[in-house]
Amino acid sequence: MFKFVIRSALVASVITTGSVVAYAENPMVGGAPMFADKNIVENAMNSKDHTTLVAAVKAAGLVETLEGKGPFTVFAPTNEAFAALPAGTVDTLLKPENKDKLTTVLTCHVVAANAMSSAIAEMIKDDGGEHDVKTVGGCILKAKADGGKISLTDETGGTAWVTIADVKQSNGVIHVINKVLLPKG
């Protein structure tokens, strides 16, 4: 009986420690812990830096999609990135009559893959310094690396930098970016 109790305690300790280690790997985002066993929407909803993104995802009807199996890589613009758009842009995009345009903008931040920053950096290197990233929304982003940081240039020539990389999710990964990526036209 004594051996069983010791063995059970040891197993419980290993399981508990393993869980803590898995969570510790993820960076904090927007002052909140990001949990690898939660999906993209669940984690984004906890970030105080992504309230605009979450509101936009809801307005576009993309919650169910981004809660789905994936895998997805989401380049997640911060509230500051949305605020840097021309005055009135976010309010206009959030109107029901602009749902299609909002959906296009948001899906230009999503890739149908689980692409960690090391994989993106390797693709950039293999392609001679610039890699085309095809998004779910049909946009082509130009990924580059500079000083260990990854940048993405959208179809209008705007460049976003990854400020927090490799935030693991149950259905993919989030990379926090400092600018909203826009489609051409």
Return d(Cα 174, Cα 115) in angstroms, integer: 9
Does a structural domain hold residue 120? Answer: yes
Tokens 């130009």 identify what position? 142
In a domain, 6, yes or no: no
Q: Distance between CA 157 and CA 176 in Å, rounded?
A: 19
Dihedral of CA 19/22/24/28: which sign? negative
Q: Which is nearest to 165 in space by CA: 2, 29, 22? A: 29
Q: Is residue 16 part of a domain?
A: no
Indicate if the pLDDT at residue 5 is higher than 60. no
For the segment 133-156, what is each residue's pLDDT rounded down to a tens digit? Answer: 999 999 999 999 998 899 999 999
Name the amino acid, one letter, at 51. Answer: T
In a domain, 19, yes or no: no
Q: Please report whether residue 185 resides in a domain.
A: no
| Cα 106 from Cα 93, distance rounded (Å) | 10
Number of domains forming the structure of the chain: 1
Q: Residue 156 phi/psi, 5° resolution?
A: -100, 0
Tell me, what's the pLDDT at 31? 87
For residue 37, tell me if it sits in a domain.
yes
Query: Are the beta carbons of 55 and 94 closer than 8 angstroms?
Result: yes
Domain span including residue 97? 28-177
pLDDT digits (tens, 9 = 90+) for 9-62: 333 333 333 333 344 488 889 989 899 999 999 999 999 999 999 999 999 999
User: In this predicted model, what pLDDT tens digit does every residue of 79-91 receive, in sequence order?
Assistant: 999 999 999 999 9
pTM for this prediction: 0.85
CATH number at residue 40: 2.30.180.10
For residue 141, which phi and psi values (nearest 5 degrees)?
A: -100, 145
Question: Is 40 within 8 Å of 173 (Cβ atoms)?
Answer: no
Task: Tell me, yes or no, whether 119 lies in a domain.
Answer: yes
Indicate whether 15 belongs to any domain: no
Question: 38 near 169, Cβ under 8 Å?
Answer: yes
CA dihedral 9, 11, 17, 22 (to 10 degrees): -150
